[in-house]
Amino acid sequence: MDCDCDIIVLDFDGVLVEPLSTYEWAPENVRVRDLGRLILRSIPQHMKIYLVSGRSAKWLNFIKDTLTAIGVSLSRIEFCLNRKKSEIDHKLFCAERILEKEGCIYEWHDDNPYVLESLKRYVCGALVLHQGGRCWVIKGSSRLGQLCSER
């Protein structure tokens, strides 16, 4: 797999946004994580962003409004939504779809270590785990500089 690519994948819930209270994922109960905002603003302009979420298509306007409010150009973003399987199976499906279209994935950010473990063979660059307001590069090296610690 060629690792000279400019594709970055971000999970929506847990990486870019978090609930204000436990398990309350309604739009009015979600806020943008400071680290998520920083990551979105730090992605080089030439990189294409894929946003992965198990949320249904009815959330797409909320997701787009959230990204626009942060200042992200929607022309740089593609979406893989509508989980109908387990979280891991959905993200593997998304990875396969992205690879089919783009040929590579350089970096994947997620809040589930089991998802990242299952994606090792799909991502040629960095796997980045987000938990507790921080992030760690658990494989490879991130193109986002020192935003995340190496584990």
Q: Considering the domain boundaries, does residue 77 fall inside one?
A: yes
Q: What residue numbers bound the domain in which 75 lies?
A: 7-150
Q: Say which CATH number the domain at 36 has.
A: 3.40.50.1000
Quote the DSSP letter at residue 38: H
Q: Considering the domain boundaries, does residue 41 fall inside one?
A: yes
Tally of structural domains, the chain: 1
Identify the weakest region by mean pLDDT among 66-70, 91-95, 119-123.
66-70
The one-letter amino acid at 114: Y
Q: Considering the domain boundaries, does residue 2 fall inside one?
A: no
User: CB neighbours of 78 closer than 8 A, spacing ≥ 6?
Assistant: 48, 49, 50, 51
Question: How does pLDDT run across 71-120, given as a tens digit for each residue?
Answer: 888 999 999 998 888 999 999 999 999 999 999 999 999 999 999 999 99
Q: Considering the domain boundaries, does residue 108 fall inside one?
A: yes
